Structures are given as C-alpha cells and as structure tokens.
Amino acid sequence: MMEFLKTLLDSNEIIQTGGLFLIILIVFAENGLFFGFFLPGDYLLFSAGLFCGTSALDVSISILVLSISLAAILGSYTGYFFGKLIGRNLYRKKESLFFKYKYLVQTRFYYMKYGGKTLIISRFLPIVRTFAPILAGAVEMNFKKFSLFNFLGAIIWVFSLVLLGYYLGRQFPQITDYLEYIIIAFLLITSTIVIKGIINIKKKAKVLTKIAKKKN
C-alpha cells in the first residue's frame, strides 16, 4: 500500500508506470473527489508535457491535452454534484462545534460574488483545486455559470502547464535530469500561492459577512 501511495505522489512514476490512463485517472480524482486532494496536479501536468516533448511518453500532444482537459472538467462536475448532494443536508444540519451556519452563508456570498474567478484561480492551487467545485455545488452555484468557468479553468490550467512542459521537453530534452528540482520549485510556488490565497479569502469573507449583516 505504501509503495502504491508513493507511486501516486511521484509524477515520474505515474507517467512511466501507468502512462496516459493513470494520468487521466489522477487528474479526474484530484479535480473533484474529496479524497484526491493529496494527489499531484500542477507538476504532473508539466511532467506529462515534458515527457511527451522528449517522446518518453508515447502519445501525441493533442491527445494529451484534450484527454487531460476532459478529465479535469468531468472531475470538477463530479465534485459539483457531490457538493450539491451534501449541501442540501448542510442547510438542515444543526449547528455544532465543527459546523456553523454562518460559514455556509459566507461561502455562498463569496461564490455569488467571486465564484467564476475562484474556479479559474483554484485550478492552480493544490487542495483548493479539489474542494472548490465541491463547495460550488454545496452553495448551489448556478450550473450554467459553473459550467462556463469549469471549462475555462480546465483549458487554461491544462494547456498552460502541459504545453510549457512540452515546449521545454522539445527544446531542452536534458531538462528531465533536473525534474526533482523543478518539482520542488512547483511545490514552493504553489504553497506560497495557497497561503496567500487563504489569507485573501478570509479577508474577503469578512467583508462580505459585514455587507450581509448590514443588508439584514
């Protein structure tokens, strides 16, 4: 089991062991299944493009980007409908130490105002990427609006990272020797962005809560 989990966290192992099928499966899970939050996302896409560029991954770049985009879109739809299912129960749930109704209201207001932008930006944020569509469903974000930004977010995320990796793989095939350092850089950058994003979300949530209180 530990070896299997280790493989799932190693983009190089994923690509060499499972190829395109495992890449698609992981992207699908990480984009909407709550238990997939720990799976690699950004650097998996970059690595897939990189290995495609060096021909280590035997698949055309067009099939690669389209397959991953579809997996990301369908994964987020799964998260959205799962969130919608549990969201109905949350509105009837009694408050407890771990659940406060005001947090649900804050999230709803936040998605009403920043939902589209959140779905696009969250694609580039580990963990947030997994839970953003689930929360969108839980607060009953408009389905057409969700679909629009689900497609846009997936396309921007996949095409930018995969094509960047593909270009570097084609131009500098020796870059694969430094993949570990690239992954570390990805983790540092995304971790910094996540921390800043959480701080900004908390600030905006407080402002929206104050506005909601004034209206009531």
- Output the pLDDT for position 64: 96
Tokens of residue 47, six digits: 């690595």
Average of per-residue pLDDT across 31-52 = 87
pLDDT at 77: 97
Q: Mind listing the pLDDT tens digit for each residue in 92-147?
A: 556 554 455 555 666 666 677 767 888 888 898 888 889 889 989 988 889 999 99
The percentage of residues in the chain with a pLDDT greater than 90, rounded to a whole number, is 37
pLDDT, residue 208, reads 56
Pull the structure tokens for residue 84: 């919608």
**What ranges in the chain are assigned the alpha helix state H?**
2-9, 11-30, 42-53, 61-90, 101-121, 128-138, 143-171, 179-215
The confidence score (pLDDT) of residue 74 equals 97
| Amino acid (one-letter) located at 16 | Q
Amino acid 179: pLDDT: 74
Cα–Cα distances (Å) from 211 to 34, 105, 204, 207, 214, in that order, read 31, 12, 11, 6, 5
Given a cut of 80, whether residue 52 has pLDDT beyond it is yes
Check whether 75 has a pLDDT greater than 80. yes
Distance CA 52, CA 190 (A): 23
Please give the Cα distance from 133 to 85 (Å, whole number). Answer: 12
Residue 14 identity: I
Three-state DSSP class for residue 173: helix
pLDDT in tens, 153-175: 999 999 999 999 999 999 988 88
